[in-house]
Amino acid sequence: MSDSVVDPDEVGHVADLARVDLSEEEREQFAEQFADILSYFETLEEVPDIEREPELTNVMRPDERRESLSQDEALRNAPETEDGYFKGPKVS
Protein backbone atom coordinates (compact mmCIF):
# COMPACT_ATOMS: atom_id res chain seq x y z
CA MET A 1 0.00 0.00 0.00
CA SER A 2 3.05 2.20 -0.06
CA ASP A 3 2.12 3.75 -3.41
CA SER A 4 -1.31 4.86 -2.16
CA VAL A 5 -2.36 8.24 -3.56
CA VAL A 6 -4.36 9.28 -0.52
CA ASP A 7 -2.43 11.72 1.63
CA PRO A 8 -3.62 13.83 4.58
CA ASP A 9 -3.86 16.96 2.39
CA GLU A 10 -6.25 15.28 0.01
CA VAL A 11 -8.36 14.08 2.92
CA GLY A 12 -8.41 17.66 4.16
CA HIS A 13 -9.51 18.97 0.74
CA VAL A 14 -12.37 16.51 0.42
CA ALA A 15 -13.39 17.25 4.01
CA ASP A 16 -13.49 20.97 3.16
CA LEU A 17 -15.71 20.27 0.16
CA ALA A 18 -18.03 18.31 2.43
CA ARG A 19 -17.94 21.13 5.02
CA VAL A 20 -16.47 18.77 7.59
CA ASP A 21 -13.92 20.02 10.08
CA LEU A 22 -11.04 17.58 10.65
CA SER A 23 -8.09 17.98 12.99
CA GLU A 24 -4.56 17.30 11.76
CA GLU A 25 -4.60 14.00 13.62
CA GLU A 26 -7.86 12.94 12.06
CA ARG A 27 -6.53 13.73 8.59
CA GLU A 28 -3.56 11.44 9.17
CA GLN A 29 -5.77 8.75 10.60
CA PHE A 30 -8.34 8.91 7.78
CA ALA A 31 -5.63 8.90 5.13
CA GLU A 32 -4.47 5.54 6.44
CA GLN A 33 -8.00 4.23 6.62
CA PHE A 34 -8.76 5.39 3.06
CA ALA A 35 -5.66 3.56 1.89
CA ASP A 36 -6.96 0.39 3.54
CA ILE A 37 -10.40 0.78 2.02
CA LEU A 38 -8.96 1.33 -1.45
CA SER A 39 -6.87 -1.80 -1.09
CA TYR A 40 -10.04 -3.80 -0.45
CA PHE A 41 -11.39 -2.54 -3.76
CA GLU A 42 -8.19 -3.64 -5.44
CA THR A 43 -8.88 -7.11 -4.11
CA LEU A 44 -12.34 -6.99 -5.70
CA GLU A 45 -10.75 -6.23 -9.07
CA GLU A 46 -9.18 -9.68 -8.95
CA VAL A 47 -12.60 -11.38 -8.91
CA PRO A 48 -13.16 -12.92 -12.36
CA ASP A 49 -15.93 -11.50 -14.58
CA ILE A 50 -19.21 -13.34 -14.42
CA GLU A 51 -22.04 -13.31 -16.90
CA ARG A 52 -24.17 -10.32 -16.18
CA GLU A 53 -27.86 -9.85 -16.70
CA PRO A 54 -28.57 -7.54 -19.61
CA GLU A 55 -28.57 -3.90 -18.59
CA LEU A 56 -31.89 -2.13 -18.20
CA THR A 57 -32.60 0.87 -20.45
CA ASN A 58 -35.39 3.44 -20.78
CA VAL A 59 -36.94 3.00 -17.36
CA MET A 60 -39.40 5.88 -17.18
CA ARG A 61 -42.72 6.80 -15.64
CA PRO A 62 -45.58 8.78 -17.21
CA ASP A 63 -45.83 12.48 -16.31
CA GLU A 64 -48.61 11.92 -13.78
CA ARG A 65 -48.93 13.54 -10.40
CA ARG A 66 -48.77 11.64 -7.15
CA GLU A 67 -49.65 12.96 -3.79
CA SER A 68 -46.86 14.78 -1.97
CA LEU A 69 -46.05 14.66 1.70
CA SER A 70 -47.77 17.20 3.91
CA GLN A 71 -45.65 20.06 5.18
CA ASP A 72 -45.65 18.54 8.67
CA GLU A 73 -44.49 15.19 7.35
CA ALA A 74 -41.80 16.80 5.20
CA LEU A 75 -40.41 18.73 8.17
CA ARG A 76 -40.75 15.96 10.72
CA ASN A 77 -37.08 14.97 10.78
CA ALA A 78 -35.75 18.53 10.73
CA PRO A 79 -33.95 19.63 13.89
CA GLU A 80 -35.11 23.20 13.32
CA THR A 81 -37.92 24.76 11.29
CA GLU A 82 -39.53 28.18 10.89
CA ASP A 83 -42.86 29.05 9.20
CA GLY A 84 -42.89 25.82 7.21
CA TYR A 85 -39.25 26.12 6.12
CA PHE A 86 -36.26 24.00 7.03
CA LYS A 87 -33.99 26.19 9.13
CA GLY A 88 -30.24 25.96 9.03
CA PRO A 89 -27.08 27.95 9.69
CA LYS A 90 -26.07 30.78 7.36
CA VAL A 91 -24.32 29.72 4.16
CA SER A 92 -22.25 31.64 1.66
Give dist(CA 1, CA 40) in Å, integer.
Answer: 11
For residue 25, give the nearest of 4, 11, 42, 39 by alpha carbon.
Answer: 11
49 touching another protein, by CB under 8 A:
no
5 touching another protein, by CB under 8 A:
no
- Nearest residue (CB) to another protein, 51 versus 61: 61
CB of 71 to another protein, least distance (A): 5
Using DSSP's 3-state secondary structure scheme, residue 81 falls into strand
For residue 75, give the nearest of 56, 59, 91, 88 by alpha carbon.
Answer: 88
- Nearest residue (CB) to another protein, 50 versus 60: 60
Residues 50-89 that bind another protein (CB under 8 A): 55-66, 68-71, 74-75, 77, 82-89
17 touching another protein, by CB under 8 A:
yes
